Amino acid sequence: MYFFFFFFLSEHFHINIYKHMNPKRLVVRWIRRAIFWTVLENGGFRAKMYDITQHPFFKRGIAVLVLAQSVLLSVKWDVDDQVTFPLATMSVVFTFIFVLEVTMKLIAMSPAGYWQSRRNRYDLLVTSLGVIWIVLHFSLLNAYTYMMGTCVIVFRFFTICGKHVTLKMLLLTVVVSMYKSFFIIVGMFLLLLCYAFAGVVLFGTVKYGENINRHANFSTAGKAITVLFRIVTGEDWNKIMHDCMVQAPFCTPDKHRYWETDCGNYAGALIYFCSFYVIIAYIMLNLLVAIIVENFSLFYSTEEDQLLSYNDLRHFQIIWNMVDDKREGVIPTSRVKFLLRLLRGRLEVDLDKDKLLFKHMCYEMERLHSGGDVTFHDVLSMLSYRSVDIRKSLQLEELLAREQLEYTIEEEVAKQTIRMWLKKCLKRIRAKQQQSCSIIHSLRESQQQELNRFLNPPSIETTVPSEDHNTNNPDNPSQPEMSGLQQLLSPTLSDRGGYRQDSGELGRPQRKLGQWRLPAGRTSVKSIVCKMNPVNDEASSGSEVKKWWTRQLTVESDESDDNLIDI
At 354-368, the pLDDT tens digits run 778 888 888 888 888
Closest CA to 128 of 161, 106, 110: 106
Query: Which residues are 373's β-sheet partners?
Result: 332
Q: How many CB atoms lie within 10 A of CB 246?
A: 20
What's the CATH number where 359 sits?
A: 1.10.238.10
Per-residue pLDDT of the chain (567 residues; tens, 9 = 90+): 333 333 333 333 333 433 444 444 444 444 444 444 444 455 578 888 888 988 889 988 998 999 999 999 888 888 888 888 888 899 999 999 999 999 999 998 888 888 888 889 999 999 999 999 999 888 887 888 888 989 999 999 988 877 777 777 777 777 878 888 888 889 889 999 999 999 998 898 888 888 888 888 998 999 999 999 988 888 888 889 998 888 888 888 877 776 678 888 888 899 999 999 999 888 888 888 888 887 777 666 555 555 667 678 888 888 888 888 777 788 888 888 888 888 887 778 777 777 788 888 888 888 887 778 888 888 888 887 877 777 777 778 888 888 888 888 888 888 888 888 898 898 888 888 888 888 777 877 887 777 777 777 655 444 444 444 444 444 444 444 444 444 444 444 444 444 444 444 444 444 444 444 444 444 444 444 444 444 444 445 556 666 766 766 665 555 444 443 444
What's the CATH number where 250 sits?
A: 1.10.287
Q: Which of 354, 388, 422 is the last residue of a domain?
A: 388
Task: Indicate if 296 and 183 belong to the same structural domain.
Answer: yes
Q: Which of 162, 189, 224 is the last residue of a domain?
A: 162
Task: Indicate if 319 and 294 belong to the same structural domain.
Answer: no
* Number of domains present in the structure of the chain: 4
- The answer to whether residue 115 is domain-embedded is yes
Q: How many CB atoms lie within 10 A of CB 319?
A: 19
- The answer to whether residue 126 is domain-embedded is yes
Give me the half-sphere count of Cα atoms (radius 13 Å) on the Cβ side of residue 124.
Answer: 13
Q: Name the residue range of residue 61's domain.
A: 44-162
Q: Which of 388, 413, 431 is the last residue of a domain?
A: 388
- The answer to whether residue 24 is domain-embedded is no
Closest CA to 544 of 558, 532, 560: 532
Query: Which residues are 149's β-sheet partners?
Result: none
Tens digit of each residue's pLDDT (9 = 90 or more) over 386-427: 777 777 777 788 888 888 888 888 888 888 888 888 988 988
> Full-prediction pTM beyond 0.85?
no
Task: Indicate if 184 and 267 belong to the same structural domain.
Answer: yes
What's the CATH number where 109 sits?
A: 1.20.120.350
Residues ≥6 apart with Cβ < 8 Å to 300: 169, 173, 310
Q: Is the dihedral of CA 207, 209, 214, 220 positive or negative?
A: negative
Task: Indicate if 89 and 127 belong to the same structural domain.
Answer: yes
Task: Assess whether the previous peptide bond of 534 is cis (omega < 30° from 0).
Answer: no
Tens digit of each residue's pLDDT (9 = 90 or more) over 471-486: 444 444 444 444 444 4
- The answer to whether residue 235 is domain-embedded is yes
Tens digit of each residue's pLDDT (9 = 90 or more) over 488-510: 444 444 444 444 444 444 444 44
Helical ranges in 456-492 per DSSP H: 467-472, 485-489
- The answer to whether residue 256 is domain-embedded is yes
Task: Indicate if 188 and 293 belong to the same structural domain.
Answer: yes
Q: How far apart are CA 191 and CA 199, in angstroms?
A: 12
Task: Indicate if 126 and 206 belong to the same structural domain.
Answer: no
- The answer to whether residue 397 is domain-embedded is no
Closest CA to 207 of 195, 219, 193, 196: 219
Task: Indicate if 142 and 218 belong to the same structural domain.
Answer: no
Angle between helices 165-180 and 182-203 (to 10 degrees): 60
Tens digit of each residue's pLDDT (9 = 90 or more) over 447-470: 777 777 777 765 544 444 444 444
Task: Indicate if 182 and 296 belong to the same structural domain.
Answer: yes
Task: Indicate if 243 and 318 belong to the same structural domain.
Answer: no
Residues ≥6 apart with Cβ < 8 Å to 331: 320, 323, 324, 339, 373, 374
Task: Indicate if 291 and 332 belong to the same structural domain.
Answer: no
